[in-house]
Structure 1
């Protein structure tokens, strides 16, 4: 203990501690990202290639070293393309955690109209897919949308999802008190936990809530069953009252 160098301790500042914690958090984030995506197997392949490159450098194999140098340049862009969905999802969730939102909150009357429309559609076994935005816009995720920009109403939602309507085959996007888009194509979830009896509509509902912080109401065309997708999970076989309660909870609406 007498030979302990206290000068090193004195040189260690709070900035150094912050630096170490930041690097640790970054490494943990990268490892977590690799674990929950396809990245782990790709990472193993990169380690093997790095081993061959080191071998080539040690033995001064110029041709092989040149090939690896060019391969890393191309590989960097390839990784961005391969992980594009995962990178977008990660950055999207990072944005959600900031708590900054420019989207108008959903009001109680909007939820009531959505629930009433879903009840009507359910009784008649008419399929529906209603995405309700929370803090984050879904515009960067959905495709093929038709602009509606009209106040949410029971009649409008029923009309859109009427089987003879040209807009019925797709999702509706609700932002605040307005239906902004219809006939939207949503990203499909790759979750293996979804029972096989559920088709594309339910997989699309899960896909949009995996990619964004939105909630999505689904009405099954085959059974009339109402479900709510939120946070990567699907709440199934809901009656209108339970659907209303869940929407109030997830949209943080206090009952009047």
Structure 2
């Protein structure tokens, strides 16, 4: 028994209790990070700050209105955050809310190879494409604007989606982990005045999504066949196959491909 009446079991229980709460809060923050809900959360934080100031300085009128907002705040939050709450409950129902990805480095290498192979194939044939890869920031709200796919990421499927005159070739494909989760999606267009006038809607959409999330987005120009990539509000233009591969490895925290299985498969394809 420790001083103060606390034993090791009690301390362990309290620690686990606090850790679970912080973990759930962290997952919720990751769920809404980069979405419109973040701005709403900032607004709520301002209201709470005003409420605390009204108590500290005894501002009766301000406190009254702040209390009214807080009293009805739960209902307001449910209404405003309905899409995010629904998405969280869906993930919880699928068992993915509290689980981590067990995707191996070899799997990630194969997926990068599929993206690069598809991108270079389309570039050589001047097939326009827009591919957005989710990282830490959730971009599920943009996936919901398109057509659900939920298919395994392969270069055949990715290329087929952007084939001209097919129902899904317009808009963006969104990739999450090892899945193509949606196609024909709408991405927010950048309003930056610094984007070159020669760049079209696909490039503006790629810049737009990179300005509000940490997603990595690949663009293939239909006019020139040039490959570009946006990440963190920066545009990388005229990428070669090797440069695109290195960029994907860098921003997905991958080392150069060393998998024997991947090398063997690549050798068979080249042969």
Normalization by structure 1: what TM-score?
0.59
Shift of 1:134: 0.9
CA contact (8 A) 1:132 1:215 kept: yes
Against the structure 1 CA distance between its residues 141 and 155, is the aligned structure 2 distance closer, same or farther, given a 3 Å change threshold?
closer
Against the structure 1 CA distance between its residues 147 and 103, is the aligned structure 2 distance closer, same or farther, given a 3 Å change threshold?
farther
Aligned residues: 166
Q: Following superposition of structure 1 onto structure 2, how do residues 202-213 of structure 1 map, counting pairs within 5 Å?
A: 202-213=203-214
C-alpha RMSD of matched pairs (Å): 2.8
CA contact (8 A) 1:104 1:175 kept: no
Shift of 1:139: 1.2
Shift of 1:224: 0.3
CA contact (8 A) 2:227 2:238 kept: yes
Query: Residues 65-103 of structure 1: CA distance to partner in whole angstroms, max 9, x if unpaired?
Result: xxxxx9xxxxxxxxxxxxx9xxxxxxxxxxxxxxx9956
Shift of 1:157: 0.8
Q: Following superposition of structure 1 onto structure 2, how do residues 72-221 of structure 1 map, counting pairs within 5 Å?
A: 107-221=108-222
Work out the CA distance in 2 between the residues paired with 1:211 and 1:189. 10
3-state SS of paired residue (1:216) = strand
Against the structure 1 CA distance between its residues 101 and 246, is the aligned structure 2 distance closer, same or farther, given a 3 Å change threshold?
farther
Query: Residues 193-220 of structure 1: CA distance to partner in whole angstroms, max 9, x if unpaired?
Result: 1100001000000111111111000000
Query: Residues 103-147 of structure 1: CA distance to partner in whole angstroms, max 9, x if unpaired?
Result: 676711111100000000000000000111111220124552111
Instruction: Give the structure 1 partner of residue 92 of structure 2.
Output: none
Normalization by structure 2: what TM-score?
0.56
CA contact (8 A) 2:143 2:183 kept: no
Instruction: Give the structure 2 partner of residue 242 of structure 1.
Output: 243
CA contact (8 A) 1:144 1:185 kept: yes
Work out the CA distance in 1 between the residues paired with 2:102 and 2:246. 20
3-state SS of paired residue (1:130) = strand
CA contact (8 A) 2:143 2:174 kept: no
Consecutive unaligned residues in structure 1, runs of 5 or more = 1-69, 71-83, 85-99
Structure number with bigger Rg: 1
CA contact (8 A) 1:206 1:234 kept: yes
